[in-house]
Structure 1
Amino acid sequence: MPGLLRLAATQWAWICLCWFGMVFVPEVAPLLALLVAGRLHALGVILHDAIHLPWRHKGPGLRLLELLAGFPVATTLEAMRYHHLRHHRDAGLPSDPYRRPPASPWRQFAVWLRVCPILPFWVLRGPFGLLAWRLPPLRTPYARLFLQDRSGKALTHDAEVLACARAEAGQVLFHLAVLGAALRWPSVVGLGYGLPFLLTSGLCAWRLLAEHTPRTVQGRTLRDVLACTSDHGLGWIGQLLTAPLNVGYHVVHHLHPQVSLHHLPRLRDWYLLRYPDLYPSPRRP
């Protein structure tokens, strides 16, 4: 936890530096907004690392990390853990929340366009989740629509869904504060957070399509994992925008989900050295 909190603080330091640049050098504000988007993307990666930790209840450290790295990208620890751990368990199978069928490049582009608003959509998850917390009939639609549940079960009394719905309170309060600030300083909040937030949503959609192949798998074996996952964004553009903090080392992440993001490059090198013919090549730069 201390390492993840330091990493989150580092991203916020870069974001603040970009904000100062927007004020003093407004001519490069659009470029700086893109850089802020990359750091917001990195915050989501940090929260992603946290959900792979073996925690049952959120202590002060996790709550602080959620505030720093989760709410700014419209997610909670509970919501991300719900769909992401199911993705790891069922990667490439019909029950995989991130599963997509094979398609032509043009259809893949259409999929990207459809996934692009993912973060604004998650903002809507907050108020809907709070309603679902108080109104049991909404819990199954909440899980299907916003948590990407594919179980086909009635989830009205599911404890995990209820915990996700209850946790939305923090996100709702965060975005109400953002809304209040936007009403008071519309141009400042719009350029400093609103535009980067939308750009981050597009970057997340790109990453989702880049790190998973459309190949159909039959089980959960090593070869199935290698078939449906892919490395991407291993260069400087990836680290800056599309795959920050080593999240592009996706194959080894699926092979060893609890390995820290810091160690994924060395782990990939280990596999390449010992299994050069088995380990898949990156699908995208």
Structure 2
Amino acid sequence: MSRSLSSCAAPVANSEHTLSLRDPVPKELLARASLPGLARLAVAQWGWIGLCWVGMSLVPKMAPLLALLVAGRLHALGVILHDAIHLPWRHKGPGLRLLELFTGYPVATTLEAMRYHHLRHHRDAGLPSDPYRRPPASPWRQLLVWFRVCPILPFWVLRGPLGLLAWLLPPLRTPYARLFLQDRSGKDLTHDAEVLACARAEAGQVLFHLVVLAAALRWPTAVGLGYGLPFLIASGLCAWRLLAEHTPRSVQGRTLHDVLACTSDHGLGLVGRLLTAPLNVGCHVVHHLHPQVSLHHLPRLRAWYLLRYPALYPRPRRP
């Protein structure tokens, strides 16, 4: 599923109700993300955050609005780390560690933790084993689900110290994986190498948030408005995106039609670019069809699918 549609299903006849897989997607639309490209995106987001922080100090009355904009850029940092998950890496070199520091730790996650649940989501999207799957519910119940998911980033902050405890105390590793890595395997993970790597990687996140805590004790107002409040808003934005980009429909397998049934585009307008779906992450259907394609290329790839399969490509669920 990472390169072309042919990995999702076998070729079928082209009609209004089926997808033809005989013609490959143009190669220029399938360019992959790169570490230098993601680093440039991270620098740009921190540039906007820095400008917002300057604005807060110069015009204090604008602080709430600027905090909202900072939240959008924190959300974007998480999206950049998400793209790094799909890079072909086994061990973190200096470049990936630096990217993790500036894009993962500020939103309370590590490369290992995100890779654990996110790649399983791609593999099992819509299936009972999907870490992100939720049952069908009414709009009111969906709102309640959003309230429940809203504290996701503060919850991940707790994952750090508890993960370190799990690294030191083997009996805690399976509960750590179930609760914080969204593992649905039902297996005993006490000696699982991947879970152990996730637990060990929490050290960097814990150190980062200890530094933030020390800064907050020294400059409570500045850190609270510049990072604490945006962090909480970003958590709500992440929860909104998680519910918007996945449908509650159940699927039976991993075919292309299953992908189209359980994923959805959203946030394609100005509000999405600023807050709910930054850096083109709202083009979620084509991301699931081609997970390794760079964020930059998702809008063009989506346009190609809309032009070729206008009756089949799902409509955005939310603006």
Q: Same fold (TM over 0.5)?
A: yes
Q: Which amino acid aligns with 1:164?
A: C
The CA RMSD over aligned residues, in Å, is 0.4
Q: CA deviation at 1:80?
A: 0.1
Shift of 1:71: 0.1
Q: Partner of 2:226 in structure 1?
A: 192
Give 1:206 shift: 0.2
1:123 equivalent in alignment to 2:187: no
1:46 corresponds to 2:80: yes
The CA distance in 1 between the partners of 2:268 and 2:139, in whole Å, is: 22
CA shift for structure 1 position 222: 0.5
1:135 is displaced (CA, Å) by: 0.4
**CA deviation string 1:5-46 (max 9, x = no partner):** 111011000000000000001111000000000000000000
Pairs within 5 Å for 1:1-285: 1-285=35-319
Task: State the Cα distance separating 1:122 from its structure 2 match.
Answer: 0.1
Q: How many matched pairs?
A: 285
Please, what TM-score do these two structures have when normalized by structure 2? 0.89
1:48-94 deviations in whole A, cap 9, x for unaligned?
A: 00000110000011000000100000000000000000000000000
Shift of 1:163: 0.2
Letter aligned with residue 248 of structure 1: G
> Alpha-carbon deviations, 1:94-147, whole Å to 9, x = none?
000000000000000000000000000000000000000010000000000000
- 1:101 and 1:216 map into 2 onto residues whose CA distance is 8
Matched residues in 2 for 1:5 and 1:27: separation? 32
Structure 1 CA distance for aligned equivalents of residues 89 and 243 of structure 2 = 29
Q: Distance in 1 between matches of 2:290 and 2:138?
A: 31
Q: Distance in 2 between matches of 1:50 and 1:236?
A: 25
Structure 2 unmatched runs, 5+: 1-34
Aligned-partner Cα distance in 1 for 2:183–2:296: 30
One-letter amino acid matched to 1:254:
H
- Decide which structure has the larger Cα Rg and report it: 2
Percentage of matched positions with identical amino acids: 88
Structure 1 residue runs without a partner (length 5+): none
- Opposite residue 127 of structure 2, the aligned amino acid is L
User: The residue matched to 2:130 in structure 1 has which SS?
Assistant: coil
- Secondary structure in 2 matching 1:152: coil
Q: Distance in 1 between matches of 2:45 and 2:151?
A: 23
Shift of 1:171: 0.1
Partner residue, 2:15: none
Cα separation, 1, equivalents of 2:216 and 2:48: 21
Bigger proportion of residues as helix: 1
Amino acid at match of 1:181: A
Structure 1 length-normalised TM: 1.00
Bigger RCO (CA 8 Å, 6+ sep): 2
Distance across 1 between alignment mates of 2:303 and 2:192: 42
C-alpha separation between the residues in 2 aligned to 1:270 and 1:188?
Answer: 45
Distance 2:210 2:224 in 1: 15
* DSSP 3-state at the match of 2:133: coil
